[in-house]
């Protein structure tokens, strides 16, 4: 095994058996190398949607015309025009003269009258009839009226047949074009009910491959949908910001249609990671991104690739006023489809922000979103920045196990094994150790009482963890305890009583066959889960333990009962209030936190590294990592479970993410009767050497840029990524053959950091 001593970066010898061969060299020095050891590496993966593809050579994007449009409003950056007959909009970016809009004509040849009206609409809606069936309705001069005062358009919409009316505003600001809708202006005067409402459903749309460019979707780490010829798709992209509402969303919408996703790497679908989307017309030429500033809890991103319904690529954000859901009528969860009787309390603000030149791509969108979050006080800088790259080690302490009669607790990892691992890794050069215990509570990971105060551990009282906590502190690390306040197994809470569940039976996520002895996974009423967390967490933090919070970061669901409703927005406010209170004692570690929790987070666990991989998604990009780098520590998913190939190690470097591992003292066969039987390879002795090598390689390249923001990223050729920071540039070559970029040789399957004077190289081949 190969490691590195801090400071001199000299090689230190150790055990020979390893999965990686690592070398490091300064410029003008002879590289120190090791005999390579084989491991899984498939260079052809760089051709897939799991990676970013180089920009194709393309001509200039062609803007729309202004014939038949009248000036509406103008400032130093933008000029806005409208066609009075249809309400269609044109926006001119004055820096380039490029003109954005929706459809090129009042009724294009490839669209009928209904779709043409929808395509040119300033605002549109999906409306339910008295039978609960939904239909889309656009606007034009017949049902849309407006007045303009200064830089603000005030509009009134009346769908007369459906007897639904609403008001909205469109304002030209220094940031862009801002739409605002106050739900209090919505009137439903008949039997019809407003479902969703959305602005500019075809703005920036492209007919097949008529323009160079792509649609950007913040799915997982981020993905691109490049403009190409129409194909036959069964489903487009439709996901709620901040994830599904498990209290109302039907199961099929939560799980998605698997036939629209690639099968080779089938994994769980990723959530939306940001309340925005973007469209590029010519990379480095023209772009915009639409950012939801208010109303994100009820926002749903809809993206249709060409060939799904029309031959147009289009994207827009819909806001859910009402939806259908399954109303249970007995304790078995059986129910009927019902239109939500009480509407959501909408207050929507969404701004279209226009980009041009070198900022007209997904990187420019990420930097724009990062600036917005900083302006809102949601992002800061790591204070102080880490002296050494952190390493996340999660240990499964114990879990509940099935017995012939009843259950027992299987202690998966002893304290002695954890301590020995810490000492061994520290002695081999791993620094910044972050240790988190899962299943530390009495009863184990899936057996402890969710609503009681956790003062007992599987090792004894909390004081039994003191020596481990103190040793990690001496090493510059920390000990955290894993808490998941929202999800529970049967037996972990009184799910049929006051604790209850806040969702319909149709939305229950079924466990695997190996886990059925514990029953289904349920979701606690949000107030119950948060109240238990507020009672448990202060005690743990007062004892000097860190918290690693699962569930709270990415689950957002309401509670919808006949006599009691807690909305999704109200739950979000409760989560924010809870996190703010806990963060008063120090920032938190969270699993996949939503943006409204960023102010309270210093470490982001299991950050997405891919997209959901729908067939129409062409590229994966590190949008989320560009937004967050320099503001918090970013840890990739567990390397020993799903992210352990050589290409994955390089991707951590490419995306500026640190490694994490889930470990147990026992082998996985010994855990086959527990609820953790799905873990396939977690035994300590199988991974110790790999951990050191992976840490050594990744830290050698990333430590020079720790605490810094990503300034730019490009893919100069297939399989090669170039990322620039304030202190230098990192090149990653996923290919097996050597390439030359910017006059620098990048060996195959390797990463290189250079500040212009010195060069640091690391290889996985």
The interaxial angle of helices 646-655 and 684-702, nearest 10 deg, is: 40
**Residue spans of beta strands (DSSP E) within 542-625:** 546-549, 559-560, 565-566, 588-591, 601-605, 619-620
Tell me, what's the pLDDT at 572?
A: 94
All domains of the chain in start order, with CATH = 107-328+343-375 (2.70.98)
CA dihedral 31, 32, 36, 42 (to 10 degrees): -40
Alpha helices (H) along 523-602 = 526-542, 568-583
| 3-class state of residue 505 by DSSP | helix
| Calpha distance 669→671 (Å, rounded) | 5
Tally of CB atoms within 10 A around 580: 12
**pTM, rounded to two decimals:** 0.91
- Which position has the token pair 């792509």? 214
CB neighbours (10 Å) of residue 105? 14
Report, in this order, helix, strand and coil percent for the chain, each rounded to 5. Answer: 20, 35, 45
Q: From CA 353, how far away is CA 365, in angstroms rounded?
A: 9
Q: Compute how many other C-beta atoms are within 10 angstroms of the C-beta atom of residue 742.
A: 10
Would you state the pLDDT for residue 728? Answer: 97
Tell me if 365 sits within 8 A of 704, measured CB to CB: no
Q: Is the peptide bond before 725 cis (omega within 30 degrees of 0)?
A: no
Distances (CA, A) of 147 to 184, 415, 652: 20, 70, 52
Name the packing angle between helices 568-583 and 526-542 (round to 10°). Answer: 0
Q: How many residues can be counted in the chain?
A: 765
The pLDDT assigned to 510 comes to: 37
| Tokens read off for 404 | 């012939």
pLDDT value at residue 95 = 95
Number of Cα atoms under 13 Å in the Cβ half of residue 280:
27
466-474 and 415-427 are packed helices; what angle lies between their axes, rounded to 10 degrees? 10
Three-state secondary structure along 613-659?
CECCCCEECCHHHHHHCCCCEEEEEECCCCCCCHHHHHHHHHHCCEE
At residue 147's C-alpha, the angle toward residues 144 and 149, to 5°, is: 150
The Cα–Cα gap between 380 and 231 comes to 43
- CA-CA distance, 30 to 89, in Å (whole number)? 62
Contacts of 260 (CB under 8 A, 6+ apart): 233, 234, 235, 614, 615, 616
Pairing state between β 729-733 and 720-724:
antiparallel
Provide the pLDDT for residue 256. 41
Q: What 8-state DSSP symbol labels residue 357?
A: G
Tell me what pLDDT residue 255 has.
Answer: 44
Residue 549, beta-bridge partner list: 483, 590
Q: Which of 390, 391, 385 is nearest to 708 (CA)?
A: 385
Rounded Cα gap, residues 752 and 733, in angstroms: 9
- CB-CB contact of 269 with 341 (8 Å): no
Q: Which residues contact 349 (CB under 8 A, 6 or more apart)?
A: 178, 179, 180, 292, 293, 294, 295
Tell me the average confidence (pLDDT) per consecutive run of 10 residues in the chain, 765 residues long. 29 31 37 37 80 90 96 97 95 97 95 95 96 94 95 97 97 96 96 97 97 97 97 92 80 42 56 94 97 96 96 97 76 71 92 97 98 94 79 96 88 97 93 94 88 83 95 94 88 60 37 53 85 91 93 85 82 95 90 95 95 94 98 95 86 97 95 89 92 94 96 96 97 95 95 95 90
CA angle, residues 396, 397, 398, in degrees to nearest 5: 100
Q: How many C-beta atoms surround the C-beta of residue 308 within 10 A? A: 21
Q: How many CB atoms lie within 10 A of CB 528?
A: 21
CB atoms within 10 A of CB 196: 21
pLDDT at position 594: 95
| 559, 342 Cβ separation under 8 angstroms | no
Q: How far apart are CA 139 and CA 83, in angstroms?
A: 12
The token pair that represents 694 in the structure block: 């992976």
* Spatial distance between the Cα atoms of 362 and 366, rounded to a whole number of angstroms: 6
Tell me how many helices (H) and strands (E) the chain has: 10, 49
Three-state helix/strand/coil letters over 154-222:
EEEEEECCCCEEEEEEEEECCCCEEEEEEHHHCEECCCCEEEEEEECCCCCCEECCCCCEEEEECECCC
Q: Token digits for 636?
A: 């990739």
């Amino acid at each position: 095994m190969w490691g590195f001593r801090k400071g001199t970066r000299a090689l230190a010898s150790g055990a020979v058996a390893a999965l990686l061969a690592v070398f490091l060299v300064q410029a003008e020095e002879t590289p120190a190398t090791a005999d390579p050891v084989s491991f899984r590496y498939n260079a052809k993966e760089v051709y897939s949607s799991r990676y970013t593809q180089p920009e194709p050579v393309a001509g200039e994007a062609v803007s729309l015309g202004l014939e038949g449009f009248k000036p509406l409003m103008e400032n130093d950056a933008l000029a806005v025009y409208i066609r009075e007959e249809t309400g269609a909009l044109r926006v001119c970016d004055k820096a380039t003269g490029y003109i954005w809009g929706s459809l090129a004509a009042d009724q294009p040849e490839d669209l009928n009258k209904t779709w043409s009206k929808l395509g040119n609409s300033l605002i549109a809606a999906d409306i339910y009839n008295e039978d609960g069936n939904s239909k889309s309705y656009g606007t034009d001069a017949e049902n849309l009226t407006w007045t303009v005062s200064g830089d603000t358009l005030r509009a009134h919409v009346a769908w007369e047949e459906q007897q639904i009316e609403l008001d909205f505003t469109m304002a030209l600001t220094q940031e862009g074009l801002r739409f605002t809708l106050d739900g209090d202006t919505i009137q439903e005067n008949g039997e019809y009910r407003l479902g969703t409402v959305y602005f500019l459903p075809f703005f920036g749309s492209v007919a097949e491959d008529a323009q160079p460019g792509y649609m950007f979707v913040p799915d997982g780490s981020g993905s691109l949908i490049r403009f190409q010829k129409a194909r036959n798709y069964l489903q487009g992209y439709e996901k709620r910001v901040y994830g599904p509402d498990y209290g109302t969303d039907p199961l099929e919408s939560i799980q998605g249609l698997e036939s629209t996703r690639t099968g080779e790497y089938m994994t769980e679908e990723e959530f939306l990671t940001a309340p925005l989307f973007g469209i590029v017309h010519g990379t480095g030429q023209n772009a915009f991104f639409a950012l939801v500033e208010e109303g994100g809890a009820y926002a749903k991103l809809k993206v249709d690739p060409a060939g799904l319904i029309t031959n147009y690529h289009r994207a827009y954000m819909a806001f859910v006023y009402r939806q259908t859901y399954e109303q249970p009528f007995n304790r078995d969860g059986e129910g009927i489809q019902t239109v939500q009787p009480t509407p959501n309390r909408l207050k929507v603000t969404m701004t279209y922000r226009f980009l041009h030149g070198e900022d007209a791509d997904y990187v420019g969108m990420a930097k724009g979103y990062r600036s917005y979050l900083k302006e809102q006080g949601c992002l800061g800088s790591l204070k102080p920045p880490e002296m050494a790259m952190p390493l996340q080690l999660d240990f499964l302490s114990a879990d509940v196990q099935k017995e012939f009669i009843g259950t027992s607790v299987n202690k998966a990892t002893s304290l002695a094994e954890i301590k020995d691992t810490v000492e061994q890794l520290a002695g081999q050069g791993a620094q910044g150790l972050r240790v988190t215990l899962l299943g530390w509570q009495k009863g184990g990971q899936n057996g402890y009482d969710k609503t009681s105060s956790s003062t007992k551990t599987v090792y004894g009282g909390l004081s039994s963890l003191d020596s481990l906590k103190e040793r990690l502190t001496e090493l510059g690390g920390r000990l955290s305890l894993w808490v998941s306040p929202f999800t529970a197994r049967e037996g972990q809470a009184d799910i049929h009583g006051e604790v209850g569940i806040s969702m319909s039976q149709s939305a229950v996520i079924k466990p695997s066959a190996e886990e059925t002895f514990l029953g289904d996974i349920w979701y606690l009423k949000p107030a119950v889960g948060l109240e238990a967390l507020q009672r448990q967490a202060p005690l743990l933090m007062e004892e000097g333990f860190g918290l690693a919070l699962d569930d709270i970061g990415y689950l957002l669901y309401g509670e919808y009962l006949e006599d009691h409703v807690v909305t999704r927005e109200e739950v979000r406010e409760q989560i924010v209030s809870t996190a703010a209170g806990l963060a008063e004692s120090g920032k938190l570690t969270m699993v996949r936190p939503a943006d409204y929790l960023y102010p309270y987070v210093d470490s982001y666990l299991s950050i997405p590294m891919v997209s959901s991989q729908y067939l129409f998604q062409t590229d994966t990009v590190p949008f989320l990592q560009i937004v967050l780098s320099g503001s918090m520590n970013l840890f990739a998913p567990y390397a020993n479970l799903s992210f352990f190939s050589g290409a994955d190690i390089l991707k951590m470097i490419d995306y500026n993410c640190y490694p994490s591992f889930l470990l147990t003292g026992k082998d996985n066969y010994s855990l086959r009767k527990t609820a953790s039987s799905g873990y396939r390879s977690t035994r300590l002795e199988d991974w110790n050497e790999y951990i050191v090598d992976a840490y050594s390689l990744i830290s050698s390249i990333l430590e020079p840029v720790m605490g810094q923001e990503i300034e730019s990223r490009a893919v100069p050729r297939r399989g090669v990524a170039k990322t620039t920071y304030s202190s230098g540039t990192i090149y990653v070559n996923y290919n097996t053959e050597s390439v030359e970029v910017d006059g620098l040789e990048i060996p195959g399957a390797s990463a290189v950091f250079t500040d212009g004077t010195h060069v640091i190289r690391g290889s996985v081949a």
